[in-house]
A and B are shown apart, each in its own frame.
Chain A
Amino acid sequence: MTVPTNLYQKASLKGNREDLLDKIYNTSPSEVPLSSAFGRTTAITDFHEWQTDALGAASASNKMIDGDDVTLDAQVATVRIGNHLHIFNGTVGVSRRANIVKKAGRGAEMAYLKGKKMLELKRNIEAMIVSPTQVAIAATTSVAGQSGGLGVQLVSNPLHNGAGATPAWTSGAPTAAITAGTNRTFTKTLLDTACQNIYTTSGQFAEMLVVSPAHKTLFSAFASVAQNRIDVKGGKNSQATIVGGAEVYLSDFGGLTVVPHYLMAGSDTAYVLNTDYIDLAFLDGFKTTELAKTGDSDKVLITADCCLAVRAPTAQAKITNLTP
């Protein structure tokens, strides 16, 4: 096939504005410390599913008589779980007059505005992720689908207090609400128990502790931690300022990064995570669509159709019913 003479091809274009948008958009991972750390995968429908499986309990008495016949072991089926996709969305509109008046850097400004809106959507996704209570909701013709957050997906190692409980997934999705409990103080014992539970149920060591700024301060005051630290005094160098940094702890059991999360301010929950086993599943990534003209302006719709997928709940823990 021969390309027709003088055909204006994609390769001839100078300045692809979508690339520019991507460049602007991709420069702020610090806004979303969890989303940045999670894996990315593709969803193919509005209900994203995966399977979990576990080995049977180890038995030191497992043996057989030489030459004996066998009876087949009972097999345990894999567990199929999933989450509903959630259409995060935002719009940008520019009037015809604004388009004409401000010619210099107009394309760049529009790309910036779109990038900013995408960043806002990213923060909305991050808010869904850290939500201790947001359940999954299936989409219908009149109800928007909703992704369950970490709170309802960390079903294997939840540490509640009082009547608090995280229900097992219903019909393969985390649609049931968390049962309210009684709040208590965040302690090192609770954190140690959460880390031990992760190791017992998955053989993994905790990688990241994600807490509210207030719980970060409490964590810093834990006895065995405090003896290795200075006292954080109030004033200019107070803990509120140190929220700009994550603390790194090392022990015989590996490293733990303590991340204070600004979207968790006032939260009653702390998450202990292994991010290798958590993904965000996107149907078609972040998508910008030019909308049909309905007036004297140009409008753009930006969507991110995605859900949170905790692949291995046994490798994660949450400590909830904490006094905020």
Chain B
Amino acid sequence: MTDFHIIESANEYGIARDVRVEGDNVITKQTYDAAPLLKFAADARIANEGKRWGDGHFVGVIPMAELARINDTYKSAEERKHQILAWLRDNPKLVTFEKFLK
């Protein structure tokens, strides 16, 4: 039985939170609209097609919800960088430079 349920409106990063408290368990569902990010990354992949690695290459876009979770979980900058890049490899539709995946 649900003791308490509230749906928060999206925050400044477009992340909405659904909090459901059942007894002593909290079930939190975070949602965000990834469609603009997916479209943005897809267009960038096409624009970057055939280009070579250069200094400061834009390789991907990571939703703030995922970045914040990684930053909150891993407390070393090096580990965070590793996790961010791993996340992008696991989510190739948000990669903006195909060569990054190879």
Residue of A at shortest CB range from B20? Answer: A108
16 A-B residue pairings within 8 Å (CB atoms)? A20-B26, A29-B68, A29-B71, A32-B68, A33-B64, A109-B4, A112-B4, A207-B77, A207-B81, A228-B97, A230-B47, A244-B33, A246-B64, A248-B84, A251-B57, A262-B13
A-side interface residues, number (CB < 8 Å): 54
**In the complex the two chains form, is B24's CB within 8 Å of A19's CB?**
yes
Give the secondary structure class of A's interface. mixed
Kindly list chain A residues whose C-beta atoms are within 8 Å of the C-beta of B37.
242, 244-245
Interface residues of B in 74-102 (CB under 8 A from A): 75-77, 80-81, 84-85, 88, 94, 96-97, 100
Kindly list chain B residues whose C-beta atoms are within 8 Å of the C-beta of A255.
81, 84-85
Instruction: Give B residues with C-beta under 8 Å from A.
Output: 2-4, 6, 11-15, 17, 19, 21, 23-24, 26, 28, 30, 32-33, 36-37, 39-40, 43-44, 46-48, 51, 54-65, 67-69, 71-72, 75-77, 80-81, 84-85, 88, 94, 96-97, 100
A50 to chain B, nearest CB (A): 18
How far, in whole Å, are A242 and B64 apart by their CA atoms in the complex? 10
A20's contact among B24, B46, B85, by CB below 8 Å, is which?
Answer: B24
Question: Would you list the 9 A-B pairs with minimal beta carbon distance, nearest first?
Answer: A262-B12, A108-B4, A105-B4, A108-B21, A30-B68, A29-B72, A37-B71, A105-B3, A23-B26
How far, in whole Å, are A15 and B6 apart by their CA atoms in the complex? 20
Kindly list chain B residues whose C-beta atoms are within 8 Å of the C-beta of A256.
56
**In the complex the two chains form, is A27's CB within 8 Å of B62's CB?**
no
Give the secondary structure class of B's interface. mixed
Interface residues of A in 254-305 (CB under 8 A from B): 254-257, 259, 262, 274-276
How far, in whole Å, are A29 and B78 apart by their CA atoms in the complex? 19
Beyond A246-B62, A248-B59, 6 extra complex contacts between A and B, CB < 8 Å? A14-B24, A32-B68, A225-B56, A246-B67, A248-B60, A251-B57
**In the complex the two chains form, is B36's CB within 8 Å of A244's CB?**
yes
**In the complex the two chains form, is A229's CB within 8 Å of B55's CB?**
no
Kindly list chain B residues whose C-beta atoms are within 8 Å of the C-beta of A32.
68
**In the complex the two chains form, is A20's CB within 8 Å of B15's CB?**
no
Kindly list chain A residues whose C-beta atoms are within 8 Å of the C-beta of B88.
248
